[in-house]
Structure 1
Amino acid sequence: MGLTSNKVLVLAIVLAVLLFVGTVWWWPRLSRRTWWAVVGRVGLLLVTQLSVFVCVALAVNQAFGFYADWADLFGREKGQGVVVNHTVGRGSGGPLEVVGTSPVTDQGSAQPQVGGQIQKIDVFGRRTRIATPAYVYLPPEYFQSAYRTRTFPVAVVLTGYPGTAEALVDKLNYPRTARELAKDGRMQPMILVMLRPTVAPPRDTECVDIPGGPQTESFFAKDLPNAVRAHYRAGGKPGSWGIIGDSTGGYCALKLAMHHPDAYAAGAGLSPYYKAPHDPTTGDLFHGDELLRRRADLLWFIKHQPAPDTSLLVTSSKAGESNYKTTLKFIERVQATNLTRISSIILESGGHNFNTWRREIPAALQWMSGRLNEG
């Protein structure tokens, strides 16, 4: 049974209830002042509280999608990470392979021309030799005969760290939200490419081209768009690609749009931060390269580098988000440029969590749709 399985959560709850009942039942028998009775009482309390903690942890992980499975939780992820000197393109000879398909949930029909389709893919970077899984949402129009010659704008959607790509589909509901917004005429039909920014798990690469390490920024700026365009009717003209993410993914989205405006015409950061951290999950990202370190600081970049011709969206909350003051400072600095465009969503309150981002995603997708060309 998987870490996110409902059966695991139910089993943990049942075990916690049984331990609670057992504690009540055995407590009178352990009321004596002997050493074994004291040890028994301590043991029952410890095991019961531990079981309650496990239940809460499992429920929180299901709600927020921090870890996908047991291997992910314990740092022994089975999925392929960075591939060095790898022959790109297994089987089909291309940079992208579809490994599974499914309909969009709650759409009332399994036919893709009615509700769209979600495809699970493997992407192989020809330049960077990075391989990573992802999900692609294709809107209903993609399968309709009236649109058979049309290319579609694309939004790359990134999770936070450690995050799972599955959470973008079934927790943050990006495909369903995009379908409903397009159906109501509030945004144009778009292809969504959903994945983790962590393409070299378990390391948090922060979308940096690490000297002597994974070239993550180049993967997202070059390899990923090229792979998607080679397989799908995805926009190839300037201004047809955007990128959006939350937390770490939000930082990456802003940075990629700022560093590569030729690749991404719009970047939206939901609860982003503005500077790559240095901690045990990242390790040394810059290896003494001071310019690389400064370029990864978005406040420094927007002040000291030529303003990029791109559109940016940032979000925060007056209460509940630690990035509020920094976000206001970033907005002020972008406004001082003559070329970069900045928009914001500022909530009165909202924490750094899925519930907050679900409140922001519809408006963010509408904003992005209005800034991308058809292809």
Structure 2
Amino acid sequence: GGGGGPLRVVGDRRVTPAGGARPDVSGRVEEIRVVGRTSRIASPAYVYLPPEYFQARHRGRTFPAAVVLTGYPGTAEALVDKLHYPRTALELAKAGRMRPMILVMLRPTVAPPRDTECVDVPGGPQTETFFAKDLPQAVSAHYRVAEGPRSWGVVGNSTGGYCALKLAAHHPEVYAAGAGLSPYYDAPNDPTTGDLFQGDEGLEKRASLWWYLKNAPAPDTSLLVTSSRTGETNYEDTLKFIDLVKGKRPTRISSIILESGGHNFNTWRREIPATLRWLDERLGGGRDS
């Protein structure tokens, strides 16, 4: 990796047990700790680096990157071990179906146990700032991430899916694409969240994707939503959200609708290969220098 930044590598692991120990063949997953310069939030994460990152002929190459988020409460390990994001990215790239990509995998619960819904809570955790500013800056300072406004995407499931869509909508200058697997479209208010908005009606409206895409200037970003006709409670809302975004150029909307599925790892594993390919098609960057 490159120079400084508030990021520390604390361990590493193979992409798959059968992948071999050579990172230039199978890539590597590094365990990191990040401290946000602005938000002061500290969080663990995993970073997947593709084999090309370690190959001598690509020593000067930069790569597009994607933040990958769990649901609530979730564990970052599940993104590696159960949803198989690194292994899927490795297999797709080896098959020529997507470019090599850096994945930054963590849970949106960066102020545990509170579910902050990726909101900048007045007087509380500045979670949106962490994901929109601190995390990309720290990762870019340490790893060879491509520069430019279309180098980053974000994807997540459930709570992470809501966060991914909101981050792309609120910060298109950072995230060129946001994919929500089984997302919802508004921040909940329940015992796990506490009072996220402290009476700030403007902040509460902004956190609603319904309100934001109806009333704010349409962001220049690409969004992907997924659901299932049977087995998923967000199906009707997802169809309404697709219809809403279709008329909001330059925002672009895509969807994956399964015949049957559910709010679970089995369903998301079916959607992840197409989602990674979709992200790859919408991100710029990634070149040898």
Same fold (TM over 0.5): yes
Q: Which of 219, 224, 238 is the matching residue for 2:149?
A: 238
Which one has a larger percent strand, Structure 1 or Structure 2? 2
Question: Of 23, 36, 44, which aligns to 1:112?
Answer: 23
**For the Cα contact (< 8 Å) 1:240–1:373, is it kept in 2?**
yes
Asked if 1 retains the 8 angstrom alpha-carbon contact of 2:4 and 2:141, the reply is no
Aligned-residue offset at 1:229: 0.6
2:280 is equivalent to residue 365 of structure 1: no
* Aligned-partner Cα distance in 1 for 2:19–2:240: 45
The structure whose Rg is larger is 1
Structure-2 change in CA distance of 1:345 and 1:93 (3 Å): closer
Higher helix share: 1
The answer to whether residue 236 in structure 2 is matched with residue 300 in structure 1 is: no
Equivalents in 2 of 1:310, 1:150: separation in Å?
25
In 2, distance between residues paired with 1:227 and 1:93? 8
The percentage of aligned residue pairs carrying the same residue is 74
What residue identity is the alignment partner of 2:71?
Answer: G
Rounded Cα–Cα distance in structure 1 between residues aligned with 2:84 and 2:4: 32
User: Structure 1 186/107 Cα, relative in aligned 2: closer, same or farther at 3 Å?
Assistant: farther
Match of 2:113 among 202, 223, 236: 202
Give the aligned partner of residue 353 of structure 1: 264
Contact 2:182 2:263 in 1 (8 A): yes
Q: C-alpha root-mean-square deviation of aligned residues, in Å?
A: 1.0
Alignment partner of 2:184 out of 249, 253, 273: 273
Match 1:342 to one of 253, 264, 267 = 253
Distance 2:69 2:79 in 1: 8
Kept after mapping to 2: 8 A contact 1:107/1:115: no
Structure 1 unpaired stretches of 5+ = 1-91
Q: Distance in 1 between matches of 2:4 and 2:277?
A: 36
Question: How far apart are residue 299 of structure 1 and its match?
Answer: 1.0
Deviation at 1:327, TM superposition (A): 0.5
Q: Give the structure, 1 or 2, with the largest relative contact order (CA under 8 Å, sep 6 or more).
A: 2
User: Could you say which residue in structure 2 is the equivalent of 1:131?
Assistant: 42
CA shift at 1:169, angstroms? 0.3
Give the counterpart letter for 1:148 in structure 2.
Answer: R
Alpha-carbon contact 2:68-2:106 (below 8 Å) kept:
yes
CA distance in 1, matches of 2:57, 2:225: 36
Match of 1:265, SS state, is strand
Secondary structure at the aligned position of 2:37 is classed as: coil
Deviates more, 1:130-139 or 1:141-150: 141-150
Cross-structure match for 2:243: 332
User: Could you state the TM-score of these two structures normalised by the residue count of structure 2?
Assistant: 0.97
Show CA shifts across 1:136-182 (max 9, x none): 00000000112111110001000000100000000000000000000
1:153 to 23, 46, 64: 64
Counterparts of 2:210 and 2:59 in 1: how far apart (Å)? 43
Shift of 1:94: 3.5
Deviation at 1:93, TM superposition (A): 7.0
Q: Show structure 1 runs of 4+ deviating over 4 A.
A: none
How high is the TM-score relative to the length of structure 1? 0.75
Q: Residues 248 and 272 of structure 1 are in contact (CA less than 8 Å); yes or no, is this contact kept in structure 2?
A: yes
Asked if 1:317 corresponds to 2:253, the answer is no
Describe the superposition over 1:291-316 as per-residue Cα deviations: whole angstroms up to 9, x where unpaired. Answer: 11011110111011100000000000
